Copies of this chain bind each other. A is one copy, B any other.
Amino acid sequence: MKKTLLLLTAAFLLLAPFTQASRPGEPIQVITPAKEINIAMSELGKKLYFDPRLSKSGFISCNSCHNLSMGGTDNLKTSIGHGWAQGPINSPTVLNSSLNIAQFWDGRAADLKEQAGGPIANPGEMAFTHELAISTLQGIPGYVREFELTFGTPEIDIDKVTDAIAEFEKTLVTPNSRFDRWLLGDDEALSDKELAGYQLFKQSGCIACHNGPALGGNSFQKMGLVAPYQTENPAEGVAGLTGIDADRFKFKVPTLRNIELTYPYFHDGDAETLAEAVDIMGRLQLGRTFTPEENSKIVAYLKALTGEQPSFALPTLPPSTEQTPPPNPFED
């Protein structure tokens, strides 16, 4: 009998980590690593993501504004584009962007693939054309070989390029944050203050928009719901697409994953700190002024959302040859 008890205890101890519930009632779900990735395509996409030859200047790559050393952003108010153009809007993070309902702040691209083609041809960003980008890649024998291995044909087109970039971007999820570990049942993963911050985050209504595995990215909401948002930034949000006045300042709710790394905040990059962003959100979206103590608790919670950053070897790019059109940084 004593032996049976001992065995049962041992079995319980062994099973405990696996049977611990993952807090199913929570409005936020654990973020999981990417699955079913086409590795050849993703590796090719990684090279393209880091390749400034997709820009007219040969100087700007996807990684310039969605820098994977810096939370998948450029940490600038608004971005720098071709000719040092001042971008119109804050670069959203590429991390976990596969979870977004749509891409760009106004959701004008349906998915990562559609998004990837945008900046290449935007005169204020990479300032190239799809045709010139393709003729550049087609002039790089190392790429021609890799496209053939990946797609079964050496004919490169923008469809394949954006497929590959999107496949790489799907790998850029950031699991295993301390909050995820808490969601998975590890009570020690959050401090009391962080946990209090999470409770406040839910009770005060932040959770209404920042929910799901990415804590956002899954709906469009008006910036300045209770009180109007003051900004010098001319972006109109969804109204810029629909022309409907009610869509003015309606933006995709940004993810709060890795928010400690993706400063400054909001579509205009106007909030430099998390404390400032939480304060503005409270007043303008929830009609609530957080006390400094409440603010500090929520900020503490938000910092527990930093997950494992993508880890991979810096890619080596295939060299240009005599057949490759050279970049054109200083000419029209």
- Contact status B272-A326, CB under 8 Å: yes
Closest to A311 in B: B313
- A 255-277 binary contact with B (CB < 8 Å = 1; else 0): 00000110110000000110100
A327, B73: Cα distance in complex, Å: 14
Which residues, 40 to 92 on A, are CB-close (under 8 Å) to B?
50-53, 57-59, 64, 67-71, 74-77, 80, 83-84, 86
Kindly provide the distance from the CB of A46 to the nearest chain B CB, expressed in whole angstroms. Answer: 10
- Contact status B263-A315, CB under 8 Å: no
Kindly provide the distance from the CB of A313 to the nearest chain B CB, expressed in whole angstroms. Answer: 5
- Contact status B86-A74, CB under 8 Å: no
Q: Which B residues are in CB contact (< 8 Å) with A326? A: 77, 264, 272
Interface: A329 (CB within 8 A): yes
Number of copies: 2
- Contact status A76-B50, CB under 8 Å: no
Among B76, B315, B327, the residue within 8 A (CB) of A76 is B327
Among B69, B74, B314, the residue within 8 A (CB) of A316 is B69
- Contact status B50-A74, CB under 8 Å: no
Known: A86-B330, A273-B322. A312 touches B313 (CB 8 A): yes
A50, B50: Cα distance in complex, Å: 13
Kindly provide the distance from the CB of A309 to the nearest chain B CB, expressed in whole angstroms. Answer: 5
Interface: A115 (CB within 8 A): no
Q: Which B residues are in CB contact (< 8 Å) with A50? A: 69
- Give the dominant DSSP class at A's interface: loop
Kindly provide the distance from the CB of A138 to the nearest chain B CB, expressed in whole angstroms. Answer: 17
Which residues, 231 to 285 on A, are CB-close (under 8 Å) to B?
260-261, 263-264, 272-273, 275
Q: Which B residues are in CB contact (< 8 Å) with A86? A: 329-330
Closest to A310 in B: B314
Q: Which B residues are in CB contact (< 8 Å) with A64? A: 59
A300, B66: Cα distance in complex, Å: 38
Q: Which B residues are in CB contact (< 8 Å) with A319? A: 70-71, 260-261, 263
Among B58, B317, B327, the residue within 8 A (CB) of A69 is B317
Q: Which residues of A contact B (CB under 8 A)?
A: 50-53, 57-59, 64, 67-71, 74-77, 80, 83-84, 86, 260-261, 263-264, 272-273, 275, 309-317, 319-320, 322, 326-327, 329-330
The list of the 4 closest CB pairs from A to B, nearest first, reads: A84-B84, A309-B316, A69-B317, A314-B314
A-B contact pairs, 15 of them (CB 8 A): A52-B70, A52-B74, A59-B76, A68-B314, A69-B316, A70-B317, A70-B319, A75-B320, A84-B329, A260-B319, A272-B322, A272-B326, A273-B322, A309-B316, A313-B314
